[in-house]
Amino acid sequence: MTAGGVERANGVLVAGNLVLDTVVIGVPESPPWNTSQWVESMEQHLGGNCGNTSHAIARLGVPARALAFAGRDAAGDRVTEILSAAGVDTSFMERTGMPTAASVALVRADGARCFLHCPGASLVAFLNAPEITPSLASGCAFFHLANPFGIPGLRSTAPEILRRARAAGLRTSLDAGWDSRGEWMKVFAPCLPLADVLFVNAEETRLLTGLEDENAAASALMDAGAACVVVKMGALGCMLRNSQGCWTIPGFAVTAVDTTGAGDCFAGGFLAAAAKGLPPLEAARFANAVGALSVQKPGSTAGLLSFEETLAWAAARSRP
């Protein structure tokens, strides 16, 4: 609360793709063609970088608003329903005549996965940078751009969207994701000076910078303009580098069932913790816990807990 008794804006506006995922658990390492293979389970879940991240933020008790595109179809109805049920504001989502983006996630016994993706509505998303109007930004303190590589239009409009978010008074964050076109810094370089926080995994740091050492790569990304770099390192935890220094925050030992969307949930956990006032190192440790909870069940968000439950889960696993 502010001194005047008015609720402080701490919501997160999340832009990116929405996907309806079909997650297949127990896929053979090299499934033979022209055969029928039995698998452990096959389930539909919310997916997409915006979908996973905004869902995680709302599940953790922080207001979240999705700025995304879905089709005017049953899959679009389903992803909207899942987000709304979690508490995500979907009133600014755009429904198009293109089908909702869909993925099949093939997950091996060790949690490794391969995606088969049909972009659908993502092909017409963010072809022009949206205005960050007062109504769109209302109640929000943060703007998160979830994977500009995941939507063709964002490859050119991402810098302007981040610029408009900053002009609206929002703190900005950016998550990398996989670049199937291999353009990497061609897309990312104009975005970095506009990112207060950059989320990137270890492999992405190497592909963005050409450097093998994560610390050196994070330093190079800061030199390119990012104010703070958080490197996601899976089971090893994460590394945080900002103007004050560099820290490695250990992860939590869990059995991975499905790693799909764990990086999105990590980013959502960090942003939710920051929105609740936790300092960066505590936010990073909290994000590690959210990521660890995510991988223990099929689908990105099925394993998540509330903010208080996540704090308790992490505290119970604290190292002496």
pLDDT in tens, 276-308: 999 999 999 999 999 999 999 988 899 999 999
Predicted confidence at residue 258, as pLDDT, reads 82
User: What tokens appear for 83 in the block?
Assistant: 């987000």
The answer on pLDDT for 170 being more than 70 is yes
| H-assigned helices in 60-191 | 74-86, 134-137, 154-167, 185-188
| Predicted local distance difference test score (pLDDT) of residue 71 | 98
pLDDT mean across residues, the chain? 94
The mean pLDDT of 9-37, rounded to a whole number, is 92
pLDDT tens digit string along 25-71?
899 988 889 999 999 999 999 999 999 999 999 999 999 999 999 99
Question: Residue 282's CB: how many other CB atoms inside 10 A?
Answer: 16
| Number of other residues whose CB lies within 10 A of the CB of residue 312 | 13
**What does the alpha-carbon distance between residue 146 and residue 54 come to, in Å, rounded to a whole number?**
10
pLDDT at res. 298 = 85
More confident residue, 29 or 200: 200
CA distance 147 to 49: 7
**pLDDT at site 320:** 43
Predicted confidence at residue 319, as pLDDT, reads 56
Instruction: Give, in order, the Cα–Cα distances in Å from 320 to each of 233, 286, 316, 317.
Output: 22, 17, 11, 9
Contact 184, 152 (CB under 8 A): no
Q: Which of 118, 143, 123, 125 is nearest to 133 (CA)?
A: 143
Residue type at position 103 = S
Whole-Å CA distances, 15 to 126, 128, 188: 9, 13, 16
The type of residue at 102 is A
Q: pTM for the whole thing?
A: 0.93
Domain 11-18+49-63+128-316: CATH class, spelled out = alpha beta
SS3 category, 201: strand
To the nearest 10 degrees (0 to 180), the angle between helices 280-294 and 262-275 is 140
**Which of 24-38, 41-55, 115-129, 230-244 shows the lowest per-residue confidence on average (mean pLDDT)?**
24-38
Strands in the chain per DSSP E: 11-16, 19-25, 41-47, 64-67, 69-71, 94-96, 101-107, 113-118, 140-146, 171-175, 197-201, 229-232, 238-242, 245-249
